[in-house]
């Protein structure tokens, strides 16, 4: 018995039908995309979300010779706030400058009289913070983009590319005074995650999505956690929990001790999928604050992972937020966007307190020193300082691209495009 008879359409008619179907499909996608964007982008506010008040940190009670800025973002919660004395304010004079002869994407760290700067060429330099002269330099590979972690005896670094045999990435520990390598471990994937050090454990992510906890003494693996996308941010620690976003567009909280996942949340971001999280999270007030390439700045509940608010900017938000309580404003989140605008947002509600138009591209993260917040504009390679309560310009300098400043309470150490500058109040 023969099968059903199928008539073949003439070629021209088949072509017209195909074009009509394709046009209808594209129209449906356009309508669907419009509805998707309309309902899934823009700002989101949940005004009754939990908010936990916290006191503003105070300046450490120790002299400048024993001072440490040990990690990316200064503290383990990555609030990027340093409670400098009122005397440390613009205008500044240049005390010394040091040219690294390579792009500097990330700021250095400080311990005692040593500043440790890792350049994009993967050369680690130990610099005298009083003179700008190098104590030692060590080449650790071919490419790097992270901030070291430092203690009184050791410096820890992650590397994107070794430029040779072994794994593409690397993590290493070096002697604080001599630069001699204590231990080094090849990684199966590149790492540009600034390492976080806590109680003898070293935490960082990789571009394969693998997050490591290592024994800081010898580099042995304590545990690993697999995220759904690349983890380029530095893990943030608060209350025994590590927080970070990934390139699948998810934010997660995991146990510091075991690496067990506690919660994971999506960004509900851009068309055809979520945006990606490059930004390092700041965890304060019971919230997790970070930016996303869908153009939003997000706030999640630190306990549950529920979305508290999301504020839409005009372009990518690679930058990590800085958070503190600003006089007259209260708890405030400070962050720049690739749209060239620097934002001060109410940490509780997400409402805009003030905006500053830099008219460039803000890619790097801000740091708050006392009552001034500093950021760099990648578009015109300038560094700005703004009053945290007003948004008015208090400092401007014609160099800088990414994360511009750290401090020891007496000086500002500004990272330019290729150089480091020690600045003191005039």
Whether the per-residue pLDDT at 31 is higher than 50: the answer is: no
- Whether residue 39 lies inside any domain: the answer is no
CATH of the domain at 117: 2.130.10.10
Read off the pLDDT of each residue in 16-21 and give the average, rounded to a whole number. 44
Cis peptide before 327 (omega within 30 of 0): no
Quick: pLDDT tens for 337-346. Answer: 999 999 999 9
Q: Do 366 and 80 touch, CB atoms closer than 8 A?
A: yes
Q: Which of 18-32, 79-93, 141-155, 223-237 has the lowest mean pLDDT?
A: 18-32
* Residues, the chain: 426
Question: For 339, which DSSP code?
Answer: T
Residues 310 and 296: their CA atoms lie apart, in Å, by 6
Nearest to 408 by CA among 128, 138, 200: 128
Query: Based on C-alpha coordinates, what's the Rg of the chain?
Result: 24
Nearest to 225 by CA among 213, 235, 240: 213
- Whether residue 183 lies inside any domain: the answer is yes
Q: How confident is the model at residue 274 (pLDDT cuts 50, 70, 90)?
A: low
What pLDDT does 65 receive?
A: 53
Report the chain's mean pLDDT, rounded to a whole number: 88
Q: How many helices (H) and strands (E) does the chain have?
A: 1, 35
- Whether residue 17 lies inside any domain: the answer is no
- Whether residue 391 lies inside any domain: the answer is yes
Q: pLDDT > 90: what percent of the chain?
A: 78
How would you label 171-207 residue by residue, b for 16+ Cβ within 10 Å and e otherwise? Answer: bbbbebeebeebbbbebebbbbbbbbbbeebbbbbbb
Q: Do 316 and 296 touch, CB atoms closer than 8 A?
A: no
Q: How confident is the model at residue 262 (pLDDT cuts 50, 70, 90)?
A: very high
What pLDDT does 210 receive?
A: 98
Q: How confident is the model at residue 299 (pLDDT cuts 50, 70, 90)?
A: very high
Whether the per-residue pLDDT at 173 is higher than 80: the answer is: yes
What pLDDT does 38 receive?
A: 38
108 membership: H or E segment, kind and range: none
What pLDDT does 6 receive?
A: 37
Q: Looking at 263-399, list the stretches that DSSP marks H as alpha helix, in order from N- to C-terminal side.
A: none
| Strand-by-strand arrangement of the 307-312 sheet | 44-45, 307-312, 296-301, 287-291, 282-284
- Whether residue 168 lies inside any domain: the answer is yes
- Whether residue 186 lies inside any domain: the answer is yes
Paired tokens of 308: 């508290």
Range of the domain at 166: 46-425
- Whether residue 22 lies inside any domain: the answer is no
Q: Which of 49-53, 238-242, 288-292 has the lowest mean pLDDT?
A: 49-53
Q: pLDDT > 70: what percent of the chain?
A: 86
- Whether residue 405 lies inside any domain: the answer is yes
Query: Domain total for the chain?
Result: 1
What pLDDT does 2 receive?
A: 37
Quick: pLDDT tens for 46-96. Answer: 777 888 888 787 766 555 456 899 999 999 999 999 999 999 999 999 999
């Amino acid at each position: 018995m023969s099968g059903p008879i199928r008539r073949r359409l003439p070629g021209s008619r088949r072509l017209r039908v195909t074009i009509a179907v394709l046009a209808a499909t594209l129209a449906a996608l356009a309508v669907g995309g419009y509805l998707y964007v309309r309902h899934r982008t823009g700002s989101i506010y949940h005004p009754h979300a939990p908010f936990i008040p916290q006191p503003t940190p105070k300046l450490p009670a120790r002299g400048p010779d024993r001072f440490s800025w040990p990690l990316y973002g200064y503290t383990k919660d990555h609030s990027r706030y340093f409670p400098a004395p009122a005397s440390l304010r613009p205008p500044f004079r240049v005390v010394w400058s040091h040219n690294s002869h390579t792009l500097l994407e990330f700021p250095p760290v400080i311990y005692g009289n040593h500043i440790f700067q890792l350049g994009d060429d993967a050369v680690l330099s130990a610099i005298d913070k009083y003179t700008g002269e190098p104590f030692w330099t060590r080449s650790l590979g071919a490419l790097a983009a992270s901030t070291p972690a430092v203690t009184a005896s050791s410096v820890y670094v992650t590397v994107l590319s070794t430029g040779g045999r072994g794994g593409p990435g690397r993590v290493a520990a070096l002697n604080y005074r001599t630069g001699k390598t204590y231990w080094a471990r090849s990684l199966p994937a590149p790492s540009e995650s600034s390492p976080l050090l806590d109680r003898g454990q070293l935490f960082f992510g990789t571009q394969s999505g693998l997050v490591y906890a290592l024994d800081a003494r010898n580099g042995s693996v304590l545990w690993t956690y697999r995220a759904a996308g690349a983890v380029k941010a530095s893990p943030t620690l608060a209350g025994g929990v590590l927080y970070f976003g990934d390139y699948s567009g998810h934010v997660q909280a995991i146990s510091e001790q075991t690496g067990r996942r506690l919660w994971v949340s999506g960004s509900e971001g851009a068309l055809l999928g979520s945006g990606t999280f490059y930004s390092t999270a700041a965890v304060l007030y019971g919230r997790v604050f970070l930016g996303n390439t869908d153009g939003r700045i997000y706030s999640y509940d630190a306990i549950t992972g529920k979305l508290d608010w999301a504020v839409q900017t005009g372009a990518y938000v690679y930058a990590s937020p800085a958070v503190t309580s600003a006089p007259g404003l209260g708890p405030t989140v400070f962050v720049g966007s690739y749209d060239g605008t620097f934002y001060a947002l109410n940490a509780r509600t997400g409402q805009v307190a003030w905006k500053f138009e830099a008219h460039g591209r803000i890619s790097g993260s801000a740091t708050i020193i006392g009552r001034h917040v500093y950021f760099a504009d990648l578009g015109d390679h300038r560094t700005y300082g703004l009053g945290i309560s007003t948004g008015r310009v208090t400092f401007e300098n014609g160099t800088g691209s990414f994360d511009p400043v750290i401090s020891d309470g007496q000086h500002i150490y500004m990272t330019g495009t290729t150089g480091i500058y020690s600045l003191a109040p005039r």
